Structure 1
Amino acid sequence: MGVERLSSIFFVLTMLLITAGAPAMAALPQGAWLDLLELRADQAMDAGDYAEVMHVLELYRRADGEPGIKLRAQEIVAKARHSGDPGSAFVPLGELIAEAGPQHPFYRSALELYAELEREAPHPHYRPPAHEQAERKAGEQLRPERRLDTQRRSEALARERERLEKAQARRDTAERQAQQDRQMNEWAAQVQAVVLRRWRQPSGLDPSSRSIVLVRTNESGHITNFDIESCSGGSVFCESVWETMDRLSSLPRPPDADAVRDGVRIRFEPN
C-alpha cells in the first residue's frame, strides 16, 4: 500500500475520530492506530507542518501510546521550529541522541536533524575558524593591557596591605602603652598607700605642708635609694617624711623593669 493511500486512510480515520469521538479508534487495533499516527507525523515533518506534528503527538499519547526516540525527536524539533527558536532544541535533542546511542536505528536520522538545526541556528558553543581567529587576535591585543591592569591592582593591594599592617602596628603599640600606663598607675597607687600607712604623722602640722619624694627600687621592689625633691611645712614635717622613708626597705613589686627605670614619686601631705 502506497504512502498516499495510507495518508488518505489516516485522514478518514481522523475525521471519524473528530466527528464520532473515541469509538472510531475501536475500528482499528491500537497498534495499527499508533502506526498511522506515526506515519502522519512523518508526513507533517516532511511538509514542515510543525503544528500538525505536535497535534499528532497529542493524539498519540491520548491513545495510550508511548512515543519512541524518533517521535520524541520530531516533537522536540517541531516545537522549536514552531516557536521560531530552532536553537532551543539543541539541548533536549542532544540528550535524546545520547540516550538512544549509536546502535539505535534512528541514531543517524536524529544526528541529521541536529545538523539541520545547526544550519538554521548555529549552536552557541560553536565558533567558525575565522571567528575563533578574530577572538584570539583581540585577546592578544588586550593581553598586555590586562597584564598592566593586573599589575596595578596588585600594587594597589600591596600598598593597602602595608597601610593596614602599619595601622594595626600603631594600634598594638598604643594598646601596649595604655596597658603599661594602667599597670604603672596601679603600682604607684599601691606604693603611695603603703608609704602613707607607715608615716607617723606629727600632730599640729600646717595643713599646707607638702613633700615630694622620688623613690627608686629594683625589679623585686627593694628600695635602692630615695631623694626628697621638695618639702615645705617646717622641720618637724620634713623630718617625719625622712624618717618614714629611712625605715622603709621595700615597696610592692613593680609590674616590670620599665616601671622602675625612672622611679616613683610619693606625695606627703597632712590629712
Structure 2
Amino acid sequence: MEILILGLVRGALYSLIAVGFVLVFSVGGILNLAHGTYYMLGAYLTFIFCSLVFQSASTGGLLLSAALSLLSVGLIAALVYQVLLRPNIQSVTYVMVMTLALALFASEIMSLLFGVSGASIPSLVEGNTRIGSVKVVNQQLVLIPVVLCILPGLWLFLKKTRMGQGIDAVAQQRLAAILAGVDADRALLMTYSLSAVMAACAGILIAPVSSVVPDMWLFPLIKAFAIAILGGMGSLVGAVIASFLMGYAEVFTSFLIGEHLSEMLALVVIALVLIVKPSGILGQKMR
C-alpha cells in the first residue's frame, strides 16, 4: 500500500513537470533547459508573495500567493520567449545554450537574494492522512486531484478550443498548420508560457514538503528529460505513462535498495532507453 500511494504521488508530480517539457518540444522542436527554472521560480515567488508581500500563512493568503506566482511565471516565460528565444528560435544550439544560461543566471540571483540555505513555505493542507497502515502528508496528496484536473483540462484545451487546436496542429504538422492559417509563432509563445506555468505549479505544490533552494531547478530538468525520452519525445500520452512508471520505479528502488540510489534511476533510464529503444514508448526515433 505504501509503494502504491507514494508511487502515485511521485508519478503525479513528475507528470506535471514532464508534460509541459514535452509539449514545448512537440510544438517547437526545442529542448528547453530552463524548464526547471520555472519550477524553482514558482516556489520562490510563492515564498516572496506569502512571506514578504502579504506576510500571511492563512489558506487565503497562500492561494493568492500561488495564483500570483503562476501569473508571474507565465508573464516571465512569455517575456523570455519574446526577447531571448524568438529571434533565433530555429537554432537548436542557440536555444539550448540560452535556456541553460538563463537557468544558471536565475539560480545565482536566488542565491544572492535568499542564500543557499533555502526558504520555507507553509503547507496549503496541514497534517497527515492515514490510508490503511500508511501515513501520507496531506500536502503530497493534494498533487493527485490537481493533476487529475490539469491533465484532462490540458487535453480539452488542445482538442476543443481554437487556440489549443492551433497548438495541436503545429505539433502534428507545422507547415500544414501554417498553410491553414495558424500563427505558429503565437502557438509556440502560448505553449512556452503554458509549459512554464505547469512547471511552476509543480514547484508550488511540492515546496512545503521539500527544500526551496537555488539549485532545485536541476532536479525537475533531469526528471523531465528522462521521462520525455522514456515516453517518446513529442508524445504527451507517453510522457504521462512514463511519469508514473518512473515514479513507481523510484519508489521500488528506494524500498529495495535505498533512497540515494533511486535518484540515479533517471540517468540510468536515459542511457538504457537510448541504447535499447531510442523511440521510447510512444514517440518517434530520435535523430
Structure 1 length as normaliser, TM-score?
Answer: 0.17
Larger RCO (alpha carbons 8 Å, 6+ apart): 2
Which protein is bigger by CA-based radius of gyration?
1
Structure 2 length as normaliser, TM-score?
Answer: 0.16
The structure with the largest helix share of the pair is 2
